[in-house]
Structure 1
Amino acid sequence: MAKERKKIIRTRLGEREITEEGIIYFSRGLIGFDDKRDFTLIQIREDSPFLLLQSIEDPNLGLLVVDPYSFMDEYEVKLSDAEKRILRLENVRQLGVLVTVTIPPGRPDETTLNLGGPIVINSEARRGMQVPQVDSKYPTHYRPANDESN
């Protein structure tokens, strides 16, 4: 069995060690960052649902993301056949879905999730893509319910 090759990358959270198997390739880049193709997911804290989708090439480019199903049961991402081919998707179980998170400085209670532009990742092929949902009933600034306010 081949030994996993590791490398150190710089991130907004400091230096992190990643394996080559942890790199996710985005053939189209991300919206607004078309020239950045290689990313990795970094857990921010063990007790947090949030991850950092960190660019391998640019230490300053890290997007806060989260699994939307942590906040809502009903969420559906539509993929075209072409998108499935680019992702090398053979089975829906290979697919992970993430959405970007915006936390206004000093106002964590106003956190929003972008449900209109999910990031889908084939965990087996290590291919990712941001897939804007054109006919979406999901907003780009969804505020998850705050359970403590009930």
Structure 2
Amino acid sequence: MHSARRSRKEGGLRFHSTRIGEFEVNEEQIFFLPDGLIGFPQNRNYCMIELEEQPQIELLQSLDDPRLGFCLVQPAHFFPDYRLSLPPKERDLLSITREEQIETWVIVTFHRDPFRVTANLQAPLLLNRKKRIGRQIVLRELPYHTHHLLIEE
């Protein structure tokens, strides 16, 4: 296991990632995902980093493995009709009492063709910023799949 190199600096925690090099985060940017992400259950500590050059995209960087990072978008920006309803079990696991407490993000994939960027609407990442916890869920009953085109040509 390669853990991210960490050091404390004035104002935040410093980490190293193979994707973006050295970076600093505040405690509020760090999330615990008890089950990790699908395919990466051992990586449970992540941070969200805003990408200045792409304001609608954020990087979900593993703090357990500097090689692991995912680009995320909020689906409402690209898919206005995207809806999900959380079962009571998921609400409890995320300590949610109101829908407004949750942020929904989806992983995007950049393909060789620069005009082909896809979003995984079937397995959104749900974050409770106040509690700094999150879960990736799989939507089996809805018409979503793992490769929705982000921008139609």
How does the TM-score come out when normalised to structure 2?
0.87
Aligned AA (1:23):
I
CA distance in 1 between counterparts of 2:62 and 2:54 reads: 23
Q: Deviations over 1:17-64 (max 9, x none)?
A: 011222111011110000111111111225431111011111111011
SS at match of 2:115: helix
Q: Which of residues 61, 67, 87 is equivalent to 2:68?
A: 61
Residue in structure 1 matching 2:128, options 122, 125, 132: 122
Unaligned runs of 5+ in 1: none
1:9 and 2:47 equivalent? no
- Are the counterparts in 2 of residues 9 and 16 from structure 1 also a CA contact under 8 Å? yes
Identity %: 33
Return structure 1 stretches of 4+ with deviation > 4 angstroms. none
Q: How many residues align structurally?
A: 143
Cα RMSD (Å): 1.5
2:11 and 2:96 map into 1 onto residues whose CA distance is: 25
TM-score for the superposition, normalised by structure 1: 0.89
Q: Which runs of 5+ in 2 are unaligned?
A: 1-9
